[in-house]
Structure 1
Amino acid sequence: MTRGLDARTLAGLLAQRVPELVAELLPHGRRDGPEWRCGSISGEQGESLGVRLSGGRAGVWSDFASGEAGDALDLVAAVNFGGDRRAAMGWARRWLGLGDDATTAEPVRRAHAPAASADGMDAEAVAKRRKALALFAAAREPITGTPAAHYLAARGIHLAELGRVPRALRFHAACWCGEAGGPLPAMLAAITGPDGAHLATHRTWIAQDADGVWRKAKLKDAKRTLGSYAGGTIRLWRGATATPLAQAAPGASVALAEGIETALSVALACPELRVLCAVSLGNLARVALPANVAIVILAADNDGDNPSAAKALARAVERFTAEGREVRIARPPEGMKDFNDVLTAPEPGA
C-alpha cells in the first residue's frame, strides 16, 4: 500500500528524480553546476534558491533570501501547498506513480509570475521587491557586535559613538552572491520610499583579510542592490529631533549622501543633522522628501573632472531648488574623495 509510505521515504524517492521534479515545480530556474537555481519558491528567475541535483544531498534546498530550507518533499509543500506536508505527500505519491490519494488537496502553488501591482509595477519588479524584503527580514538586527559592525569600525565608523544603532542596517551571515557563486557575509540596508515602504535591499558583501579585519569582499561588485529604489533612501540618522522623516518639523534640514559609509561619517561629524543615503549619485535628484524639509545639504564626493557626476549633482540642485528648498553643497577637503576619508584621515602630526 502506497499510503503507508512515510514522509522520509517519499522525500528519498523524489530526490532520485529531482532534476525532473525541479523542472516541473520551478520551470523558470536554470541549472548551475550541481544545483538548480531560481529567485525563490515563487519560481522567478534569480539565484537565491538552490536545489541540489545529485549526490547524497540530492533534493536538499535552501533559499538564502528567506531562510527557508528542507528536503525534496518540503520543496513540493512550499511551492504547491503553502508548506502543507500532508498535502504534498499525496501529490508526491501521484507524481511518483504510486497510486492516487483522494484525500489530498489540489496544488495551490504560488504564481510563478506575480501580477502587476496597483501602482503599475511589472511582475518582475513586484517579485524583486518581495524578495528584497524577505532578505532583509531574514537578517540580524541590531548589527552591534556582528561582522557588519566590525566592517564599519574598520572604516572609522564606530556606531557606539552615535548612541543609537541605525535600524536600517542589518547583518546577514550567508547572503547569496552571484559573482562569488555562493553565500557570503553581508551588511544589508533597507531602502525605503517616502511612505516608509520597503523598496529594495542594499548589500555590501564583506570578508576578513589576512589580519582578521573585516573589509569589503574582493569582488568586482561588492555592493549591489536588490529591487528598484528610484526616489528611495536609506534612513540612517534622525538627527537631534529623533523623529521619523514623515514627522520632520517645518524648516527641517536633511543631509543627503551618495553612499552608506559617507552618510554615517556625516552623522558622526554632525549628529544634530538628519542624514539619508541616496544609494547612488543618479538617485540624488529623484529622492522624495516631505514638504516640511526646507534645507537640503548635498554631501557630495570629490569626483574630479567627471562630467557625469557634475551633471547628476546639478540635476539634484535644480530639482530641490524647484521645489522651493534651500540647497547647500558640502564637499570634503581637496585630496579626499568623500567624508569617510575625512573621518579616517590621520591626525595632523601623527
Structure 2
Amino acid sequence: MDSPSDIARRLAENAEAVCRRYLANGRREGRYWLVGDVRGAPGRSLYVRLSASGDTRGQAGKWTDAASGEHGDLLDVIAASCGHGLMRETLAEARRFLSLPQPEVPVTANPRVRKAPGGTPAAARRLWAASRSIIGTPVATYLAARGIERPDDQGTLRFHPSCYYRASQDDAPDVRRAWPAMIAAVTDAAGAIVGVHRTWLDPAGGKAPVACPRRAMGHLLGHGVRFGDAGPVMAAGEGIETILSLRQLMPRLPAIACLSAAHLAAIELPRGLRRLYVACDDDRAGEGALRSLVERAAQISAECAPSSAVEVVPLRPQRDDFNRDLCALGRQRLAALLRLQLRADDAARFLPG
C-alpha cells in the first residue's frame, strides 16, 4: 500500500488537477495556482507551485499562504478543503482522487462509539464547550494590554487554560504542545457555531512564542466571529482585535471579524444589510478584500430593488490596523478619525459625544 509520502508525490505530479478539484475558486497564473486560502476561498494570497523550479529549490505541489505564513503540501489542501480531522480520511480521499486501492478497514470493538474528528465543526464545538469565561484570565490581560478594556459582552470569546498546539516545521523541536488560549466562536448567520479561532497566549504576556500563534478550525467560508446582532448597518474586518478596537468606541455597532482578507472578501452579507463599513488593514490583501466586497455589493444592488441596495464604506486606519491606532492615538483621537469617515447619521447614532 502506498505510504503518505508516496501519495503526496503522486498528488504533486498532478498538482493542477488537484487544484482544479479542491481549490476551484482559484486560477492558474504561470507555474502557480492562486487562491484565497488552503480551504479554497476566493482570493490570491495562497499560491501552489504546479511544477518544480529549474533550480530544484521549489517543489511541485508545495503551497504558501502569504497572508498567514502557513505552508504545506497537497495533502493539507485536501484535508482543509474537505474538512478532515484525521489523516486516514485525507489519505482515503487522495486515493479516490488518484484511483488507488483503499486499505482494508479493521473492525473495531464498538464501531458506534466515535470521537468527533479534529478540525471539524463538531471538534470546534467540543473545544468551545471545554472553555470558560474570559473574566480574570490571561485573555482579559492580553486584550487590556492592547487597549481593549471592554472585550466582549456577547459571550463570543472564551478562555481555555491548556489548548493543544500542533507544532509546524517552523517551530523549535521542543516547543510546548499546550498553551493558554483565547477561543473565539465562528458562527453562521443563524448563530450556530461552525468553527472556532484560537489565539495561543504566553502566560508572561502577549501571544505564545510559537510559529503560528493564531489558527482557525471548522467551516469558515462565509462566516465569522460576530459581535452584536445583525442589523441594517454593520462593520466587518479581518482581525478580532481590529473589530474589538472599533467596538471600544462604537459598542452598539454590530460587527464581524472574518479572520483573514480572503474570508472578509467572501463573508455572507446578512439579509437586510444596507450599509457595511469595512475596517481595512493597510496592505494589498486588505485592499483586495475591499474591492471584492464593493463588486459584490454592486451586483446585489443591480439585481435587486433600490430598497435592497448595499453600500460599502471603507474605514481606513492611520497605521496598519485599528488596534494599532487605538494603542497609539487613544480613544478620543481615534473617535475623531472615525467620525470623519462614518456617514453623519451613523456617527450620531454609534459614536457617543
Question: TM-score normalized by structure 2?
Answer: 0.56
Q: 1:261 to 1:44 in 2, by over 3 A?
A: closer
- Partner of 2:166 in structure 1? 178
Q: Following the alignment from structure 1 to structure 2, what is the Cα–Cα distance between the partners of residues 148 and 268?
A: 16
Return 5+ residue gaps in structure 2 as ranges: 1-83, 88-107, 168-174, 301-308, 333-353
CA RMSD, aligned part only? Answer: 2.6
Confirm or deny that 1:143 pairs with 2:143: no
- Partner of 2:100 in structure 1? none
After superposition, the C-alpha distances for 1:44-78 in whole angstroms (9 at most, x for unaligned) are 527xxxxxxxxxxxxxxxxxxxxxxxxxxxxxxxx
Q: Following the alignment from structure 2 to structure 1, what is the Cα–Cα distance between the partners of residues 252 and 85?
A: 44
Letter of the 2:317 partner, please give it: P
- Partner of 1:110 in structure 2? 113
- Partner of 2:298 in structure 1? 321
The list of structure 1 runs, each at least 4 consecutive aligned residues, that deviate by more than 6 angstroms after superposition, is none
- Partner of 1:296 in structure 2? 276
Q: Following the alignment from structure 2 to structure 1, what is the Cα–Cα distance between the partners of residues 276 and 221?
A: 18
Cα distance, 1:205 vs. partner?
0.2
Question: Larger RCO: Structure 1 or Structure 2 (Cα < 8 Å, ≥ 6 residues apart)?
Answer: 2
Letter of the 1:262 partner, please give it: T
Identify which range, 308-317 or 218-227, moves more after superposition.
308-317
After superposition, the C-alpha distances for 1:90-130 in whole angstroms (9 at most, x for unaligned) are xxxxxxxxxxxxxxxx7253357x8xxxxxxxxx79x6111
Return 5+ residue gaps in structure 1 as ranges: 1-42, 47-79, 81-105, 115-123, 239-243
The answer to whether the 8 Å contact 2:200/2:208 transfers is: yes
Q: Which has the larger radius of gyration?
A: 1
Confirm or deny that 1:343 pairs with 2:347: no
- Mapping for residues 29-40 of structure 1, pairs under 5 Å: none
Q: Following the alignment from structure 2 to structure 1, what is the Cα–Cα distance between the partners of residues 329 and 202?
A: 24
- Partner of 1:330 in structure 2? 315
Report % sequence identity.
34
Confirm or deny that 1:188 pairs with 2:198: no
Confirm or deny that 1:131 pairs with 2:123: yes
Confirm or deny that 1:167 pairs with 2:155: yes
Secondary structure of 1:201's partner? strand
The answer to whether the 8 Å contact 1:296/1:320 transfers is: no
Q: Following the alignment from structure 1 to structure 2, what is the Cα–Cα distance between the partners of residues 110 and 44?
A: 16
Cα distance, 1:261 vs. partner?
0.2
Identify which range, 149-158 or 286-295, moves more after superposition.
286-295
Q: Following the alignment from structure 2 to structure 1, what is the Cα–Cα distance between the partners of residues 144 and 85?
A: 37
Confirm or deny that 1:233 pairs with 2:210: no
- Mapping for residues 52-71 of structure 1, pairs under 5 Å: none
Identify which range, 175-184 or 197-206, moves more after superposition.
175-184
- Partner of 1:218 in structure 2? 209
Q: 1:302 to 1:268 in 2, by over 3 A?
A: same
Letter of the 2:163 partner, please give it: C
Secondary structure of 1:215's partner? coil
Cα distance, 1:258 vs. partner?
0.6
Q: Following the alignment from structure 2 to structure 1, what is the Cα–Cα distance between the partners of residues 298 and 201?
A: 38
After superposition, the C-alpha distances for 1:175-203 in whole angstroms (9 at most, x for unaligned) are 00012451110000000111222111100
Q: Following the alignment from structure 1 to structure 2, what is the Cα–Cα distance between the partners of residues 269 and 177?
A: 33
Q: Following the alignment from structure 1 to structure 2, what is the Cα–Cα distance between the partners of residues 108 and 272?
A: 49
The answer to whether the 8 Å contact 1:168/1:235 transfers is: yes
Letter of the 1:187 partner, please give it: M
Q: 1:265 to 1:109 in 2, by over 3 A?
A: same
